[in-house]
Chains A and B, each alone.
Chain A
Amino acid sequence: MERAIERHTDSRNQPGRTSAKGRIRTHESEMSRVNDKDTAINLPVLDKQEENSGDQFWRSYDQLANSPRYRDIVDHEFQEGADTPPTEVDRRNFMKVMGASFALAGISACVRQPEEKIIPYVKQPEEVVPGKPLFYATALTHGGFANGVIVESHEGRPTRVDGNIMHPANLGSSDVFMQAEILQLYDPDRSKTVTQNAAIGSWEAFTTVIGDQLAASGDGKGLRLLTGATSSPTLIQQINDFLAKYPQAQWHTYEPTPIASGEKIAQYDFSKADVIVVLDCDLFTNLPGSLRYARDFASRRNPETNDEKMNRLYVAEAAPTGTGSIADHRMAVRSTDIWKIASAIAKGVGGDGSASGQVPETAANTVEAIIDDLKKHNGKAVVVAGETQPHAVHKIVESINNAIGAVGSTVEYIDSPLAYKGDPFESLRELTVDIKNEEVETLIVIGCNPVYDAPVDLDFVEAFKTVPNRVHHGLYHDETAYYSQFHVPATHPFEGWSDGVAYDGTVSIVQPLIAPLYGPCRSSHQMIAFLNGNSTAKDYDLIQTYWSDKLPGDFEKSWRKALHDGILKDFSVSVAETALPPTPVSGETDEDEVSTPTQPEETESGERSDGLPEELAGLEVNFRADPCIWDGRYSNNGWLQECPKPITKLVWDNAVLMSKKTADDNSLENGDVVELELNGRTVQGPVWIMPGHAERSVTVHFGYGRERTGRVGKGAGFNAYALRESGTPWFSIGMKLNHTRHHHQLVSTQDHSSLEGRNYYRDVQLSQFLNNPEVIEEMEHVHTDKLSFYRSSKWDYSKGYAWAMTIDLSACIGCNACLIACQSENNIPVVGKGQVAVGRELHWIRIDRYFKGDPDDPNPPIVHQPVPCQQCEQAPCEVVCPVAATVHSAEGLNDMVYNRCIGTRYCSNNCPYKVRRFNFLQYADEDTEQFRLMRNPDVSVRTRGVMEKCTYCVQRINSARIKAKIENRSIQDGEIITACQHACPTQAIVFGDQNDKESRVSKMKESKRNYGMLNELNTIPRTTYLARLTNPQESLVEVHDHQDEHH
Chain B
Amino acid sequence: MADRSHIKGSLDAGSGSSSGKLTPSYLDPDYRVFGDGMTYKSVTDKVTDIVLKLKTSKGWWLGFGISFMALQVLVISIIYLLIKGPGIWGVNNPSMWGFAIINFVWWIGIGHAGTLISAILLLVQQDWRTSINRFAEAMTVFAVMCAGLFPLLHVGRPWLAYWMLPYPSTMGIWPQFRSPLLWDVFAISTYLTVSVLFWYLGLVPDLATLRDRAVKKAKKVIYGFLALGWRGSAKHWDRFTTAYLILAGLSTPLVLSVHSIVSLDFAVSNLPGWHTTIFPPYFVAGAVYSGFAMVLTVMIPVRHVFGLHDILTLRHLNNMSKVMLAMGLVVAYGYAMEAFFAFYSGGQYEIQAFQNRVFGPYGWSYWALILCNVAIPQLLWFRRFRVTLVPLWMISNIINIGMWLERYVIVITLTRDFMTSSWGYYVPTIWDWSLYLGTFGLFFTCTFLFIRFLPMINVFEMRELIHHVKHHEHHDKAGHGTEVEVSH
Binding site for B on A (CB under 8 A): 750-758, 760, 781-782, 835, 838-841, 846, 848-850, 865, 867, 876, 878-884, 900-906, 908-910, 912-914, 917-922, 944-947, 1014, 1017
User: Which residues of chain B from 99 to 156 have any CB-CB distance to chain A below 8 Å in the complex?
Assistant: 151, 154-156
With A882-B185, A946-B156: A910-B269 Cβ-Cβ less than 8 Å: yes
State whether B155 touches A903 (Cβ < 8 A): yes
State whether A914 touches B176 (Cβ < 8 A): no
State whether B157 touches A902 (Cβ < 8 A): yes
How many Å from the CB of A67 to the closest CB on chain B? 63
List chain A residues, Cβ under 8 A from B422.
Answer: 750, 914
State whether B157 touches A946 (Cβ < 8 A): yes
Number of contact residues on B: which range applies? Answer: 35 or more
List chain A residues, Cβ under 8 A from B271.
Answer: 909-910, 912
With A882-B181, A1014-B418: A876-B155 Cβ-Cβ less than 8 Å: no
**What separation, in Å, do the CA atoms of A756 and B353 have in the docked complex?**
12
List chain B residues, Cβ under 8 A from A880.
Answer: 178-181, 268-269
B170 at the interface (CB under 8 A from A): no
List the A residue with the shortest CB-CB distance to B174: A884
From B86, B164, B420, B427, name the one whose CB has the most chain A CB atoms within 10 angstroms: B420
List chain B residues, Cβ under 8 A from A921.
Answer: 84-85, 87-88
**What separation, in Å, do the CA atoms of A757 and B351 have in the docked complex?**
12
List chain A residues, Cβ under 8 A from B181.
Answer: 880-882, 904, 906
With A760-B419, A880-B268: A908-B178 Cβ-Cβ less than 8 Å: no
List chain B residues, Cβ under 8 A from A878.
Answer: 176
B97 at the interface (CB under 8 A from A): yes
**What separation, in Å, do the CA atoms of A884 and B176 have in the docked complex?**
5
- Some 30 contacts from A to B, beta carbons below 8 A apart, are A753-B420, A757-B348, A760-B418, A839-B94, A839-B95, A839-B424, A840-B92, A867-B421, A876-B270, A879-B176, A879-B268, A902-B155, A902-B163, A903-B156, A903-B157, A908-B96, A909-B414, A910-B270, A913-B419, A914-B418, A914-B419, A914-B422, A920-B86, A921-B84, A921-B87, A921-B88, A944-B85, A944-B87, A945-B86, A1017-B270
State whether A912 touches B419 (Cβ < 8 A): yes
List chain A residues, Cβ under 8 A from B95.
Answer: 839
From B96, B151, B271, name the one whose CB has the most chain A CB atoms within 10 angstroms: B96
**What separation, in Å, do the CA atoms of A240 and B193 have in the docked complex?**
87
List chain A residues, Cβ under 8 A from B182.
Answer: 882
Binary flags per residue of B157-169, CB closer than 8 Å to A gives 1, else 0: 1101101100000
State whether B423 touches A751 (Cβ < 8 A): yes
List the A residue with the shortest CB-CB distance to B160: A902
State whether B155 touches A914 (Cβ < 8 A): no
List the A residue with the shortest CB-CB distance to B427: A838
From B95, B160, B270, B421, name the one whose CB has the most chain A CB atoms within 10 angstroms: B421
B90 at the interface (CB under 8 A from A): yes
**What separation, in Å, do the CA atoms of A909 and B96 have in the docked complex?**
6
Partner of A883, one of B94, B176, B348: B176
Contact count A vs B, C-beta below 8 Å: 163
**What separation, in Å, do the CA atoms of A760 and B97 have in the docked complex?**
25
List 4 A-B pairs, minimum CB-CB distance, nearest first.
A903-B156, A945-B156, A920-B87, A921-B87
State whether A882 touches B421 (Cβ < 8 A): no
Binding site for A on B (CB under 8 A): 84-88, 90-97, 151, 154-158, 160-161, 163-164, 173-176, 178-182, 185, 265, 268-271, 347-349, 352, 414, 417-425, 427
How many Å from the CB of A827 to the closest CB on chain B? 18
List chain B residues, Cβ under 8 A from A867.
Answer: 419, 421
With A881-B176, A884-B174, A914-B419: A900-B163 Cβ-Cβ less than 8 Å: yes
State whether B161 touches A902 (Cβ < 8 A): yes
Partner of B85, one of A751, A865, A901, A922: A922
**What separation, in Å, do the CA atoms of A758 and B418 have in the docked complex?**
9
How many Å from the CB of A716 to the closest CB on chain B? 21
Partner of B93, one of A881, A902, A918: A918
**What separation, in Å, do the CA atoms of A910 and B163 have in the docked complex?**
21
List the B residue with the shortest CB-CB distance to A841: B93
List the A residue with the shortest CB-CB distance to B418: A912
List chain A residues, Cβ under 8 A from B156.
Answer: 901-905, 918-920, 944-947
State whether B154 touches A850 (Cβ < 8 A): no
List chain A residues, Cβ under 8 A from B97.
Answer: 905-906, 909
List chain A residues, Cβ under 8 A from B158.
Answer: 902
How many Å from the CB of A962 to the closest CB on chain B? 25
How many Å from the CB of A1010 to the closest CB on chain B? 19
**What separation, in Å, do the CA atoms of A867 and B155 have in the docked complex?**
26
List chain A residues, Cβ under 8 A from B173.
Answer: 884, 900
List the A residue with the shortest CB-CB distance to B89: A920
How many Å from the CB of A673 to the closest CB on chain B? 22
How many Å from the CB of A843 to the closest CB on chain B? 11
Partner of B179, one of A840, A881, A913: A881
List the A residue with the shortest CB-CB distance to B414: A909
From A839, A849, A910, name the one whose CB has the most chain B CB atoms within 10 angstroms: A839
Partner of A752, one of B87, B155, B421: B421
State whether A883 touches B175 (Cβ < 8 A): yes
**What separation, in Å, do the CA atoms of A878 and B87 have in the docked complex?**
23
List the B residue with the shortest CB-CB distance to A879: B178
**What separation, in Å, do the CA atoms of A750 and B182 have in the docked complex?**
33
Given contacts A900-B163, A914-B417, A920-B85, 11 further A-B contacts (CB under 8 A): A752-B423, A839-B95, A879-B176, A882-B182, A901-B157, A902-B157, A903-B155, A906-B269, A913-B419, A920-B92, A944-B87
**What separation, in Å, do the CA atoms of A944 and B87 have in the docked complex?**
9
State whether A756 touches B86 (Cβ < 8 A): no
**What separation, in Å, do the CA atoms of A884 and B178 have in the docked complex?**
10
Partner of A913, one of B85, B265, B418: B418
List chain A residues, Cβ under 8 A from B96.
Answer: 905-906, 908-909, 918
List chain A residues, Cβ under 8 A from B185.
Answer: 882
State whether B93 touches A917 (Cβ < 8 A): yes
How many Å from the CB of A394 to the closest CB on chain B? 38
List the A residue with the shortest CB-CB distance to B274: A909
State whether A883 touches B423 (Cβ < 8 A): no
How many Å from the CB of B420 to the closest CB on chain A? 5
State whether B92 touches A839 (Cβ < 8 A): yes
List chain B residues, Cβ under 8 A from A901.
Answer: 156-157
State whether A755 touches B269 (Cβ < 8 A): no
**What separation, in Å, do the CA atoms of A456 and B157 have in the docked complex?**
53
Partner of A840, one of B87, B163, B421: B87
With A880-B268, A921-B85: A756-B352 Cβ-Cβ less than 8 Å: yes
List chain A residues, Cβ under 8 A from B151.
Answer: 904
List chain B residues, Cβ under 8 A from A865.
Answer: 421
State whether A882 touches B348 (Cβ < 8 A): no
List chain A residues, Cβ under 8 A from B179.
Answer: 879-882, 906
List chain B residues, Cβ under 8 A from A945.
Answer: 85-86, 155-157
List chain A residues, Cβ under 8 A from B161.
Answer: 902
List the B residue with the shortest CB-CB distance to A1014: B418
State whether B269 touches A883 (Cβ < 8 A): no
